[in-house]
Structure 1
Amino acid sequence: MSNKLLVFQSDFGLSDGAVSAMYGVAKSVSLDLQLSDLTHDIPPYNIWEASYRLYQTTSYWPEGTVFVSVVDPGVGSDRLSVVVKTNEGHYIVTPDNGTVTHLAQSVGIAEARVIDEKVNRLARSYESYTFHGRDVYAYTAARLAAGEITFAQVGPALPVDQLITFHTPIAGVEQGLVTGTVDILDVRFGNLWTSVNKELFFKEGINYGDTLEVTIFDGQRQVYKNVMSFGKSFADTQVGEPLLYINSLEKIGVALNQGSFADAYHVKTGAQWKINLRKAAKIVYG
């Protein structure tokens, strides 16, 4: 199903012409395409974050929307170029390097195809090996979004279980200790978004207003330990105080009211960044 919606994500930034070149290729395929950006501020080579941002965003777009995600440290190597179709009916055009990990776990991948570059590659680009975002992904995605090719015409089928994915620890609870990872930042504000679903909190009898002990580890190294309250919004705490809250993906976030928690405590993201939470005595401010 083609709806002419095409959404771009990359680690290119906007300081040069790379994104504009991808736009130009897409519009050269069809002027009717509606082009949008997810983000071009993925940290360079950070496939984990590219994967998470797709998970954060795709479900809110109409079925049939095509996404291009280009975070590609292996460009020019023998890694595959693929298009996957999610169980929600979205298409992701990307290198096969782990970019679809979070979507595979959250909504599931229905089908995958390897891009046949003999057919689906920008003309006169065959001696270019370092800008597949323009020459292969934008071109293929535009043709798919415009209805010039079907999903089957992308290229040969690839078994879904052969797609490259990386390990993502599963949040859990044992004897009152909730464990998870710091998956991503709410970048502009420095809030931590964790892998802990709200259901784990409520199942453990943790309610709004409760006080929790929060410990954060980088691998085996403890980088933070303190107590904070669990609130519905930032207004539930004083300016500068830490708090736990439910973010827009209905997972547990960690924030400083009107401050950056990540900057204040030098916290980063990924599978090695662990967070532990357990109920503590209620904080009373005088």
Structure 2
Amino acid sequence: MSEALVLQSDFGISDGAVSAMYGVAYSVDRSIRIFDLTHEIPPYNIWEASYRLLQTVSYWPKGTVFVSVVDPGVGSERRSIVVKTADEKYIITPDNGTLTHINKFHGIADARVLDEASNRLPNSGESYTFHGRDIYAYTGARLASGVISFEEVGPQVALDSVVELPLTVASLKSGKITGIIEVLDVRFGNLWTNIHRSLLKEADIHYGDRLIVTIGNGTRQIYKNMMTFGRSFADSLVGEPLVYVNSLDNLGVAINQGSFASAYQIGTGTNWTMTIKKADETFY
């Protein structure tokens, strides 16, 4: 039986692009099992593609093949790459930074440049703008179904040659934790940071504590308020903000039954910073 093939892209589902990728995969092996991670990555947003892989990959079994196509450099000289993670999953993607979070938090055991001449959908040689269909979905299906081995996708390359985006690490200094807003919990508008739960313990912050939360964009302060650190949304009233630990063990900020991101026009990325510290009686 073939391994699972999991697809991610910024294509959306309003046209036939994703369906075409499915069709190519089924043309390789009609028994292949295909799943969608997401096709709603914001266009060209390599950072979010990297984060969504981190959010998902560890929960799939060994041997699963992921295809991630967020590719603003399609048709250029950028490499196509296939990696084997430390926990034995495979990811096929443009080598443009999409593997940043996986490399940092899970580890990459082996990396190979995808030989696009030998791993390409037959009769697609004159197409240069849909590598997701012609190269990535095709190669992913062949790898997942055992038509080719990992070693046959192309030559091995040094792990330190894999492209990475700048990755900020959260820190604790003088009782204040500083991190970035890495991504949104899109449907609900919650803010997900890179501040790990362990930093809260190190700062002696416990459930029920009142925290001063400050959010900035570059040099501008966008938001500052006091809120409760709760176990769940039940620890706050509807419409109230709260701090909580999300499903990746990192700090999240939300409005109970509301969108924090929409309410305060908050974005994501290394330029969006957040600091938290215990509130004292002099805050007001």
> Given the two structures, how large is their TM-score scaled by the length of structure 1?
0.97
Structure 1 residue 220 displacement after superposition: 1.2
Aligned 8 A contact 2:2 2:33 in 1: no
Deviations along 1:113-159, whole A, 9 cap, x unmatched? 11111211001111100000000000001000000101000001111
Does residue 1:16 correspond to 2:24, yes or no?
Answer: no
Q: Which residue of 2 aligns with 1:43?
A: 42
Q: Residues 28-67 of structure 1 correspond to what in structure 2 (within 5 A)?
A: 28-67=27-66
Structure 1 residue 3 displacement after superposition: 4.5
Aligned 8 A contact 1:3 1:65 in 2: no
Deviations along 1:43-95, whole A, 9 cap, x unmatched? 00000000000000000000110000000000000000110111011111000
Q: Which residue of 2 aligns with 1:221?
A: 220
Q: Distance in 1 between matches of 2:24 and 2:2?
A: 18
User: What SS does the aligned partner of 1:83 have?
Assistant: strand
Aligned 8 A contact 1:4 1:146 in 2: yes
Q: Which residue of 1 aligns with 2:152?
A: 153
Q: Residues 82-161 of structure 1 correspond to what in structure 2 (within 5 A)?
A: 82-161=81-160
Deviations along 1:162-214, whole A, 9 cap, x unmatched? 01001111001000010000000000000000000001001111000000000
Structure 1 residue 33 displacement after superposition: 0.8
- The amino acid that maps onto 2:220 is R
Structure 1 residue 281 displacement after superposition: 3.2
> Given the two structures, how large is their TM-score scaled by the length of structure 2?
0.98
Q: Distance in 1 between matches of 2:115 and 2:174?
A: 52
Q: Distance in 2 between matches of 1:260 and 1:214?
A: 16
Structure 1 residue 4 displacement after superposition: 1.9
Q: Distance in 1 between matches of 2:220 and 2:136?
A: 40
Unaligned runs of 5+ in 2: none
Q: Distance in 1 between matches of 2:135 and 2:157?
A: 18
Unaligned runs of 5+ in 1: none
Aligned 8 A contact 2:2 2:31 in 1: no
Q: Which residue of 1 aligns with 2:191?
A: 192
- The amino acid that maps onto 1:44 is P
Structure 1 runs (4+) deviating above 3 angstroms are none
Identity of aligned residues (%): 61
Q: Distance in 1 between matches of 2:213 and 2:89?
A: 37
Q: Which residue of 1 aligns with 2:251?
A: 252
Q: Distance in 2 between matches of 1:281 and 1:231?
A: 18
Aligned 8 A contact 2:241 2:255 in 1: yes
